[in-house]
Amino acid sequence: MATPNIKTLGELKKTGYKFLSIKDELRENLISKLKAKKPIFEGVFGYENTVIPEVERAILSRHNILFLGLRGQAKTKMARQLVNLLDEYIPVVEGSPLNDDPLQPISNFAKNIIAEKGDATPINWIHRNDRFSEKLATPDVSVADLIGDLDPIKAANLKLSFADEQVIHYGLIPRSNRFIFVINELPDLQARLQVALFNILQEGDVQIRGFNIRIPLDLQFVFTANPEDYTNRGSIVTPLKDRIGSQILTHYPKSIEHSKQITQDQIKFNKQQKEIIVPEILKNLVEQIAIEARNSEFVDSKSGVSARLTISAYESLVSAAELRFLQNNQEYTFARISDLFSAVPAINGKIELVYEGEQEGPAVIAQNLISIAIRNMFVQLFPDPGKLKRKKESSEYSIITNWFSKNQKLDLLNQANDKLYSATLTAVDGLEELISKYQPTVKGTDKIVLMEFVLHALAEHSLISKNAMLEGISFKDLLGSLLNMDMNKDAD
């Protein structure tokens, strides 16, 4: 195999090097990875049986690819990682504007220098990481930017007429010859610019400003698009879609486990924050919030809810616990359920609300999503209070609710240290026994936090009441709270 140590065309020929198109290059390297049982993507979870096989089939078919899906579905991430299927290095004619292969030159520059110097033609090497070009489709993109145009300054400096091919300034696509070229948010590209891509996709060549030249480019195109763009901002013109070999539909994780893998792979913490323990119930709740957001009538389903919500919420959760430790001058230990409510600001900016949601306000919707996540997660771990009531069965939660009716309230203070936090929760009759009965494998810190989770869930299922205080959260007997509210109204 050719190496960067080879500096001339003659030396390259002696190695037996053969030109390979980028699509064949991707295909051959994919076959090698498949035979070696090596993954083609890193940090992409939940696509093993859906998206990834479709990508593999597209590459084997030498297709250009369109990733179509809602925001935060790893479309760009996959496009960028396709460079891992390229050869480590490829040779190019030194100084060529189109990254000409020494054995298959396409520019006049490369053809002339090879004709002049023959086997002494100098060559350079390009690493696969440098063979990636990316363009975000924005309204200001022009044909000259993508394809090219005449350069009057070059014509003046070289004293050439505009009829001379040397006055062409190549656009981003020709200069990305032998590269993977990605256009993100394709529907945002103006229709006339999409039309300019027809020849490149179908015939592999471009025409610039009426020059009667054919430049047979060698590119792997990857496009990304969001389905909402078809109605809100623009559309992919039908002839262009027809020329894209494979349209691959992406999706959100189909399980909490895959969601957790994505979050854990993407979160960024320093050494101190990594010392904070996040119990499993909190990790699950963060993912459940995103699931509830995707199903919420107040959230625009066409916009989607990306994995960035769970990543930001998780980071905010940990930071809330860290702030508590710093304020109390405590050692870093573990996060609590109450820390989850500090993630509201992180959730606010990650959801697109419909009109009814805007009327409620983003902070209220975020709070509601946390509440719904707690309620729905609870019935996955413990008996559903609603079903028990409908069947007129004795409640599994009677001991806990009776404790509140006798003792009236329990205050979980934000500033409480771990010892006081644990003591406060274990004082509730029946709470620890409930955990031991239905979640017997949960021990230690996870068990204590799960006990707090049960209190929040019982409040969400209207078995006890929950009220926010400046210094923490107060849980009370539901009937007592309602009576107090009535008395306060009468006093007013």
Contact (CB, 8 A) for 133 and 181: yes
pLDDT digits (tens, 9 = 90+) for 465-491: 999 888 889 999 987 554 454 444 444
The H helix count followed by the E strand count for the chain is 23, 14
The enclosing domain of 431 has a CATH number of: 1.10.10
Mean pLDDT of 378-395: 80
CB atoms within 10 A of CB 479: 13
Count of Cβ atoms closer than 10 Å to residue 38 Cβ: 9
Contacts of 384 (CB under 8 A, 6+ apart): none
Measure Cα distances from 373 to 25, 93, 283, 284, 294 in Å.
47, 59, 12, 9, 12
> For the domain that residue 157 is a member of, what is the CATH number?
3.40.50.300
95 and 192 part of one domain: yes
Amino acid 167: pLDDT = 65
Query: Is 217 found in the same domain as 95?
Result: yes
Domain that holds residue 334: 252-381
The mean pLDDT value of the chain amounts to 88
Domain tally for the chain?
3
pLDDT in tens, 74-125: 999 999 999 999 999 999 999 998 999 999 998 888 999 999 999 999 999 9
Q: Tell whether 3 is covered by a domain.
A: no
Task: Give the pLDDT score at 328.
Answer: 86
Report the percent of the chain where pLDDT is more than 90.
63
Q: Which of 359, 381, 403 is the last residue of a domain?
A: 381
pLDDT digit string (tens) for 153-165?
665 566 665 555 6
Residues whose CB is less than 8 angstroms from the CB of residue 440 and which lie 6 or more positions away in sequence, other chains included: none
Are residues 77 and 199 part of one domain?
A: yes
Structure confidence by residue, pLDDT tens digits, 364-386:
999 999 999 999 999 999 999 88
Query: 178 and 217 share a domain?
Result: yes
Mean pLDDT, range 205-232, rounded to an integer: 74
Domain-ending residue, one of 205, 227, 249? 249
Instruction: Provide the 10 A C-beta neighbour count for residue 35.
Output: 8
> For residues 168 and 148, is the Cβ–Cβ distance under 8 A?
yes
What mean pLDDT comes out for the span 131-153? 82
Structure tokens at 38: 């090596």
pLDDT of residue 228 exceeding 80: no
User: Would 323 be classed as within a structural domain?
Assistant: yes
DSSP assignment letter at 122: B
Residue 161: per-residue pLDDT: 58
The single-letter code of the amino acid at 262 is I
CB 43 within 8 A of CB 266: yes
Q: What pLDDT is attached to residue 486?
A: 45
Q: How far apart are CA 101 and CA 178, in angstroms?
A: 9
Residues 97, 227, single domain; the answer is: yes
> Does residue 33 carry a pLDDT above 90?
yes
The answer on 329 and 360 residing in a single domain is yes
For residue 329, being part of any structural domain is answered with yes
Domain assignment of residue 4, yes or no: no
Query: Do 230 and 260 reside in the same domain of the chain?
Result: no
> Is 215 among the domain residues?
yes
Establish if 330 belongs to a structural domain: yes
Distance, in Å, from the CA atom of 240 to the CA atom of 194, rounded to the nearest integer, reads: 7
* Contact (Cβ atoms closer than 8 angstroms) between residue 128 and residue 141: no
pLDDT at site 77:
94
Question: Tokens 């009468």 identify what position?
Answer: 490
Indicate whether 368 and 478 sit together in one domain: no
At a CB cut-off of 8 Å and minimum separation 6, what does 23 contact? 59, 62, 220
Confidence of residue 434 (pLDDT cuts 50, 70, 90): very high
Strand partners, 412: 473
* Domain annotation covers residue 488: yes
Domain boundary among 381, 407, 423: 381
Q: Are residues 41 and 92 in the same domain?
A: yes
H runs (alpha helix) in 382-477:
385-390, 398-407, 418-426, 431-438, 444-460
Picking from 68-82, 158-172, 409-423, which range would have the lowest pLDDT averaged per residue? 158-172
Amino acid at 178: R
* pTM of the predicted model over 0.75: yes
Task: Tell me the pLDDT tens digit for each residue of 439-466.
Answer: 999 999 999 999 999 999 999 999 999 9
pLDDT for the residue numbered 488? 47
Please report whether residue 1 resides in a domain. Answer: no
Same domain, 46 and 150: yes
At 302-344, the pLDDT tens digits run: 888 888 999 999 999 999 999 999 988 889 999 999 999 999 9
Give the CATH number, domain containing residue 269. Answer: 1.10.8.80
> What pLDDT is attached to residue 491?
46
223, 358: one domain: no
Are residues 237 and 281 both part of a single domain? Answer: no
